[in-house]
Structure 1
Amino acid sequence: MASSTLPWQRVWQTIWGLIPSPETDGRLLLALDDTINPKSGTHIFACDTVFDHAAKTNQSQYPWAQNIVAVGLLKRIKGRWGCLFMDFRFYIAQKTLTANSKNARIKDQPVPFQSKLEQACHMLIGISQHFPNTPVLAVMDSWFGNYSVWQPVRKCLGLRFHILSRLRSNNVLYNQLVESKENKRGRPAKYGKRIGSTAEIAKQFVSLAKNYTVELYGKTRQVSAYDQVVVLKTLKCSVRVVWVYRKTQWIALFTTDLTLSVNQIIEFYGARWKIESGFKELKQDIGSQSAQCRKAAAVINHLNFCLMASTLAWIYADKLKADPERRHKVKGRTSFAFSDVRHIIAEAALNEDFVRLCPKPSNSPINSIVAVLLRMVA
């Protein structure tokens, strides 16, 4: 597990090639988010005291954990959404590197600092370049959906890259610029007339909202929404904004891809939640949270194995001829769960034919699973 010579980048590219029909509506849907991986133990690579904004009342807001930034492919699998992890990075804060912490060193060398936004850009560019000429739509929350991610990736990939995110209530929106033949003093205008903040427009146009039927969170739902193409000053470009109303609450979604319909914007952003579910599966079902690895190479290798195991499970589910049956019935849920796929794989692993693919380890020190992954790369 502590080998430092495993070619993970090539292994990941092989995994990407195994995904059947990765496009959704002619584009790659890439979900971007970060999570924490709580640990117990002092000298664990990439561990630090981090702020957990989602901590419950009975949990510490500053747990001892690893901070992970990950990108996953959102894909419909047997009628439901799934998140196939494609890459990740450990985020180590600048203060930890400045303090020369032992938890921020690989082979006794300090890890070069990268912000979460820089890590996100590198992952999005790397994955997108593996799928040349395929349009890419990155779905992210409002923290990542800003100019620091949009501009570098757009500059590298060109017009085939777009983002879908959520607006904050105080974001100011402008009309599109209308060219005027009048000669005026000063610099030419870049934006049209100020419309108002996201919250102001939500109240102003609630009466103009229309009803839409969307597939959201595993159910067919009726939602009320209003959309408008405006200029977002923070991105310096035109975006389509969709205000979604529900009872007394509302949210504002935006995308730089003006060809997306209101239904697609709502459904694609709703599918973003699957990366959150993927983090839970990764930590609780696959076991990344309970791992006792300490050294950098072992920690990196173990998390790579965990992410690949999750992705391969979804690929296996996608290639099944019949839809997996849900073992534990839940009211209102008819589609299968991730645990159902793992159960099917476990049954297949007990089959005699499985030994031909993954032979039992002999006296050789090479782990059979590592050997299979390396043969895939070759």
Structure 2
Amino acid sequence: MTEDVLDGDVLTADETALAKLSRRVERLLDAHDPATTDRLDFLRARFDAGLAWVHFPEGLGGRDLPRDFQPFVDDLLEAAGAPDNDPRRNGIGLGMAAPTILAFGTEEQKRRFLKPLWTGEEVWCQLFSEPGAGSDLAAVATRAVRDGDTWVVNGQKVWTSSAHTARFAILLARTDPDVPKHAGLSYFLCDMTDPGVDVRPLRQLTGEAEFNEVFLSEVRIPDSYRLGDEGAGWQVANATLMNERVAIGGQAAPRESGMVGVVAETWRNRPELRTPELHDRLMTLWVEAEVARLTGQRLSQKVIHGQPGPEGSAMKLSFARLAQQLSGLEIELLGEDGLRYSSWTMVRPDIVEFTGRDAGYRYLRAKGNSIEGGTSEILRNIVAERVLGLPSEPRTDKHLAWKDLPR
């Protein structure tokens, strides 16, 4: 058995992996100087070198290494001035579509979609919720009917973030109305440039339209773009949703990041605004935010060793509550200044800026945190049943065919 040695010292397995990663980064930088290489060419080369997401398999942007090696690679490349893939612009693709395609996709699907997804050449959105199927996602009515080697899709989706910039979408549709609602769903990868896809903006309380409604009329999807088995859409969708909730509320973050940092900075910089009552509320929320942050670190460590579980739902639930309470406290802390609102202009942003906006925007935008990524009411049910082991709510529709359900 050969030992790994560097400068005369025997290396541990982790040290060996880090040394090899460091050399691989050096070779990438030598071959593709960030100062002279086109940004997209560099990102493609980084993917091919297995340095995109190191926990993915070789040939798919990774090195089959633990996820916690990724910050080491990111830091080396950032220090060298290398470009990143602008992850905020394609959060749904990176946080939801990619891990789902990796888990359930065919080899052909993985090789077709993962590279342009990671480089940002193809932005993704999520076609799940419908006007009559939001919290009860299994009730989706969008129909996919098979026609030879293609599926013909008709229906309407709503609250679709980034649909106006997306090239592809992850789509949940009903393929069998004659079985119970959870069993008759299939999961597809939908081309958003199909002529039957109609994206319309939904203007929000903030004045902007980061969300959309999407109408699907005779959209044709090849069967090769079906992800997972026919009728297994609920299983695939659940994996996507668990990844989404971790992406929204379960990221490891430094102390006083996010809303609690914004409010704490205001408190420190504006002593004339302080009152004992506001101080007590801020300290209570600061402690709760710190508990949530540390819990997020534990969840991130769990994710390193496998797929996220229902803990992601608990973290997302906590994130939404804290964001709303802290943004409300900020408004009260600022007094009259908290009533200012810089712009109510109708725009369709590519990236949602939260902490960089004014207090009025943050207060209004935070209202959506308890809806997006699963409503807080549904998440409480998930935590109660899957984490605490409490009895589930009675469900009378579990064994009825979807076509027989009252709507």
For the aligned pair, the TM-score class normalised by the smaller chain equals under 0.3
Structure ranking higher in strand proportion: 1
Length-normalised TM-score, structure 2: 0.26
Structure ranking higher in helix proportion: 2
Structure with the larger RCO, 1 or 2 (CA within 8 Å, 6+ apart): 1
Length-normalised TM-score, structure 1: 0.27
